């Protein structure tokens, strides 16, 4: 028989040859490196027999999916080690994930695992690795597998098999399942696996966490152990260093170090913005206003606290009440707004509107409150009080196209400034929805037309739209390669209906407007959290709380420093003066640690010539410059407002 290799060469092999045989036939080095094979594009074990004419690809450590395979192997080794240590443990699933793998266990009552146990577990794992246990596959009948796992009192495995059978398509019923065994440990597993545990050279257990069985909050909480694995110790080390780098950029840490914001137990989930952070915050709010103004938005201010009647009208009382702060006063239920849309819809209804007035575009950078469960709070990225840069557009059907186009343009213009890569996702009609199919066709069509009209590449996320309409989401990738959902544009036929919104048409009849919800930053809180990590705390000049700091050589130069500071402030530069009685070396060091862009050293020389000694963050000494020259340079740089 023969197989075809990726470069289309034909490889003759004896009947019944395996992937390992094929690798050996190609070369000894490849045979040693081989982990698995891809037969006609499907991953298989190295020891699986090949069929005549198969397209064959040998999976080695340099193959794209090889790390997943290795990590899956490692997850099995973890389970084997845990069973060694806790024979009573119940096992569930253990897949590879983005940067490693996990395995979920149910430990016997009273047993808890913490990272203090990792040494013991890792030592056990190393025994399995050292033994170079081979991964052996067997295909058994469903009945045999069920019996086996029932006997071993592994209810999660039993449930998995039962569901496999239940969920199989009628024309392709599941009759057998595959089991993989390494050493004493057998697991239900689709495979494939590498040849043996010896390939697991560099692994590390990382953390332990609770995880609901099957991600369902009503079911058992299992103990999840996270780990990672690489083909070489160097790769593992590099990865751990990268994790360390991300930790150093943690916005919660930088927020405190740079005196941007703090949190306090007296207001969980709500930031206290310090003066430096407030500067950044206000600059972003101002940017949002500047984006809105020329695009026909008007700013409005609506109440924070509303009678429950409003929330019943909007549907929030049914669908969103658990996320709202509610208080009972004078026999009425009042709730803080978690979103602006109902207030804006109500505001629209307070006035009469003619078709000539539309579109009406309301923006409101005001605080929102959402009751987020305590366990979900996370620095600025998940808070209970925040401000969205959202706006609501009320328009006629025939205006949707232009308005959506305008929103797309605005979101891109806003986010691009920060040096993010932007991915666009279109979410279409969900199972649970309101409105006719025809309405959805129109709404989705309008979004698609806008995206394609502007030649924006997008991914479709079928069924993930809001119940009232389809949406376009904007995801950005930060400097650490992490993805965040920020902006959104949503079409809404529902809210205007519920609020009975109307406009008078050219035909003198009343018509229902369409509502568009849109935001570019999402929330300022989350956006600043992301920005801090994206820039590692080194904001671009236009956003930096302190743009320049005056460093007098000695006390007698302080008056001159203050004089220059006053001049620069007049020019709109944010500047401070280090008046401490400290050495210049010390002042420079502290300014560098504060990540201040420009350090202006002033001593006798500068005072005599009316200049400043310019030093730039990370760049070092740039020589001397006149005060006017520096002011001009900084002003230009600030005006560009670029990342």
- Comparing CB distances to RNA, the nearer of 210 and 296 is 210
- Scanning residues 98 to 157, which ones bind RNA (CB under 7 A)? 112-114
Of 193 and 517, which CB lies nearer to RNA in the complex structure?
517
Regarding 243 and contact with RNA (CB under 7 A), the answer is no
476-505 positions binding RNA, by CB under 7 A:
485-486, 488
* Residue 382 contacts RNA per CB under 7 A: yes
How many amino acids of this chain bind RNA (CB under 7 A)? Answer: 71
CA dihedral for 576, 579, 580, 581, sign (positive or negative): positive
Rounded CA separation 363/51 (Å)? 65
Distance, CA of 338 to CA of 388 (rounded, Å): 10
* Cα–Cα dist 367/316, whole Å: 18
Catalytic (active site) residue 388 = yes
Look up residue 18 and give its DSSP letter.
B
- Span near RNA by CB under 7 A; candidates 124-132, 157-165, 377-385, 493-501: 377-385
Instruction: Give one DSSP letter per residue of 534-557, joined into a string.
Output: HTTT---GGG-S-SEEEEESSGGG
507 is catalytic: no
Q: What minimum distance in Å lies between the beta carbon of 399 and RNA?
A: 25
Under 8 Å between Cβ of 596 and 589: no
CA 568 distance to own-chain centroid = 39
Among residues 372, 423, 425, 464, which is the contact residue for RNA, using CB under 7 A? 372
Does 588 engage in binding with RNA (CB under 7 A)? Answer: yes
Least gap, CB of 457 to RNA (angstroms): 21
Under rule CB under 7 A, residue 470 binds RNA = no
**Per annotation, catalytic residue among 104, 390, 473, 578:** 390
Known active-site residue 251 = no
What is the number of residues in the chain? 643
Q: Report how far residue 83's alpha carbon sits from residue 138's, in angstroms, rounded to the nearest whole number.
A: 21
State in angstroms the smallest separation of the CB of 314 from RNA.
Answer: 15
Is residue 187 at the binding interface for RNA, with CB under 7 A as the rule?
no
471, 534, 557, 595: the catalytic one is 471
By CB atoms closer than 10 A (0-12, 13-18, 19+), residue 322 is exposed
Closest CA to 399 of 459, 460, 439, 355: 355
Q: How many separate helices (H) and strands (E) can be counted in the chain? A: 20, 35
Q: Closer to RNA at the Cβ: 167 or 374?
A: 374
Closer CB to RNA, 14 or 375, in the complex: 375
The only residue of 405, 603, 641, 643 in contact with RNA, by rule CB under 7 A:
603
Query: Can residue 235 be called a binding residue for RNA (CB under 7 A)?
Result: no
Q: Provide the 10 A C-beta neighbour count for residue 451.
A: 19
The helix or strand, by DSSP H or E, that contains position 440, with its residue range, turns out to be helix 437-453
Identify which of residues 230 and 527 has a Cβ nearer to RNA in the complex. 527
End-to-end CA distance of the chain: 60
Neighbours of 367 (CB within 10 A): 14
Which residue in the set 19, 255, 379, 469 belongs to the binding site for RNA (CB under 7 A)?
379
> Does residue 430 belong to the site contacting RNA (CB under 7 A)?
no
Q: Is 389 in the site for RNA (CB under 7 A)?
A: no
Could you say whether residue 626 binds RNA (CB under 7 A)? Answer: no
Q: How far is CA 136 from CA 21, 184, 185, 403, in A?
A: 17, 11, 10, 60
Beta strand 510-511 with 503-504 is: antiparallel
Sign, CA dihedral 279-281-282-284, equals positive
For 239, the token pair is 């990865």
Coil, helix or strand at residue 415? helix
Our CB check for RNA shows the closer of 450 and 476 to be 476
- Quote the least distance from Cβ 5 to RNA, whole Å: 39
Task: Catalytic residue, from 71, 193, 361, 392: name it.
Answer: 392
Active site residue 392: yes
525 is an interface residue for RNA by CB under 7 A: yes
553 lies in the binding site for RNA (CB under 7 A): yes
Contact present, 623 and 567 (Cβ < 8 Å): no
Which of 44, 157, 189, 341 is labelled catalytic?
341
Secondary structure letter of residue 304 according to DSSP: S
Our finding on whether 555 is near RNA (CB under 7 A) is yes
38 or 534, CB closer to RNA? 534
Could you tell me the smallest distance in angstroms from the CB atom of residue 192 to RNA?
25
Q: Catalytic residue, from 76, 370, 557, 587: name it.
A: 370
Residue 31 CB neighbours (<10 A):
16
Complex with RNA: residue 81 or 584, whichever CB lies closer? 584
Does residue number 583 form part of the binding site for RNA (CB under 7 A)? yes
Question: Looking at beta carbons only, is 54 or 584 nearer to RNA?
Answer: 584
| Residue 606 binds to RNA (criterion: CB under 7 A) | yes
Minimum gap (Å) between residue 630 Cβ and RNA: 12
Piece in contact with RNA (CB under 7 A), picked from 19-27, 119-127, 140-148, 521-529 = 521-529
d(CA 564, CA 561): 5
For residue 230, list its beta bridge partners.
Answer: 202
The answer to whether 342 contacts RNA (rule: CB under 7 A) is: no
Instruction: List active site positions.
Output: 341, 370, 388, 390, 392, 471, 517
């Amino acid at each position: 028989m023969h197989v075809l290799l990726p470069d289309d060469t034909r490889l003759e092999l004896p009947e019944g040859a395996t992937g390992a045989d094929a690798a050996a036939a190609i070369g000894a080095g490849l045979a040693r490196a081989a982990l698995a094979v891809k037969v006609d594009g499907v991953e298989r074990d190295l020891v699986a027999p090949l069929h005549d004419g198969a397209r064959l690809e040998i999976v080695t450590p340099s193959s794209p999916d090889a790390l997943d395979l290795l990590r899956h192997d490692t997850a099995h080794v973890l389970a084997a080690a845990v069973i060694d240590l806790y024979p009573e443990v119940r096992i569930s699933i253990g897949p590879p994930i983005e940067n490693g793998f996990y395995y979920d266990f149910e430990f016997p009552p009273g047993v808890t695992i913490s990272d203090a146990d990792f040494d013991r577990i890792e030592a056990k794992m190393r025994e399995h690795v050292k033994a170079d246990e081979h991964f052996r596959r067997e295909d058994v009948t469903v009945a045999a597998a069920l019996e086996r796992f029932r006997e071993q009192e592994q209810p999660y495995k039993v449930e998995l098999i039962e569901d496999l059978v239940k969920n199989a398509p009628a024309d392709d019923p599941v009759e057998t399942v595959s089991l993989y065994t390494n050493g004493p440990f057998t697991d239900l597993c689709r495979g494939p696996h590498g040849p043996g545990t010896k390939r697991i050279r560099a692994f590390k257990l990382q953390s332990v966490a609770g995880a609901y069985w099957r991600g369902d909050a009503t079911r058992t909480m299992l103990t999840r152990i996270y780990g990672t694995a690489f083909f070489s110790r160097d790769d593992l080390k590099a990865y751990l260093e990268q994790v360390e780098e991300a930790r150093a950029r943690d916005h919660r840490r930088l927020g405190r170090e740079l005196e941007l914001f703090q949190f306090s137990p007296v207001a969980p989930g709500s930031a206290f913005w310090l003066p430096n952070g407030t500067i950044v915050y206000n600059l972003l709010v101002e940017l949002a206003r500047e984006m809105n103004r020329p695009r026909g938005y008007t700013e409005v201010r609506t109440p924070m606290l509303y009678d429950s009647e409003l929330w019943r009208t909007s549907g929030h009382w049914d669908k969103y009440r658990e996320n709202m702060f509610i208080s009972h006063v004078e026999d009425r239920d009042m709730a803080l707004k978690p979103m602006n849309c109902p207030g804006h819809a109500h505001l629209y209804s307070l006035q009469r509107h003619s078709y000539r007035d539309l579109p009406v575009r309301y923006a409101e950078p005001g605080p929102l409150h959402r009751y987020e469960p305590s366990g979900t709070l996370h620095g600025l990225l998940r808070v209970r009080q925040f401000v969205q840069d959202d706006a609501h557009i009320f328009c006629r059907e025939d205006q949707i196209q232009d308005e959506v186009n305008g929103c797309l343009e605005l979101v891109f213009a806003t986010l691009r400034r920060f040096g993010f890569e932007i991915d666009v996702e279109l979410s279409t009609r969900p199972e649970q929805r309101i409105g006719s199919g025809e309405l959805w066709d129109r709404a989705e069509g309008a979004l698609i037309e806008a995206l394609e009209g502007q030649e924006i590449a997008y991914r479709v996320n079928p069924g993930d739209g809001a119940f009232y309409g389809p949406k376009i989401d904007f995801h950005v990738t930060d400097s650490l390669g992490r993805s965040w959902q920020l902006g959104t544009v949503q079409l809404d036929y529902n809210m205007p209906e519920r609020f009975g919104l109307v406009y008078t048409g050219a035909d003198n009849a009343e018509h229902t407007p369409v509502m568009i919800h849109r935001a570019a930053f999402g929330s300022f809180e989350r956006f600043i959290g992301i920005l801090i990590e994206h820039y590692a705390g080194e904001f671009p000049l236009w956003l930096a709380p302190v743009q320049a700091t005056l460093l007098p050589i000695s006390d007698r130069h302080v008056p001159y420093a203050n004089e220059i500071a006053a001049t620069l402030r007049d020019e709109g530069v944010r500047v401070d003066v280090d008046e401490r009685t400290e050495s210049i070396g010390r002042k420079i060091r502290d300014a560098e640690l504060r990540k201040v862009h420009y350090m202006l050293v002033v001593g006798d020389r500068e005072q005599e010539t009316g200049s400043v000694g310019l030093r730039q963050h990370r760049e070092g000494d740039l020589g001397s410059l006149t005060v006017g020259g520096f002011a001009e340079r900084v002003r230009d740089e600030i005006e560009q407002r670029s990342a």
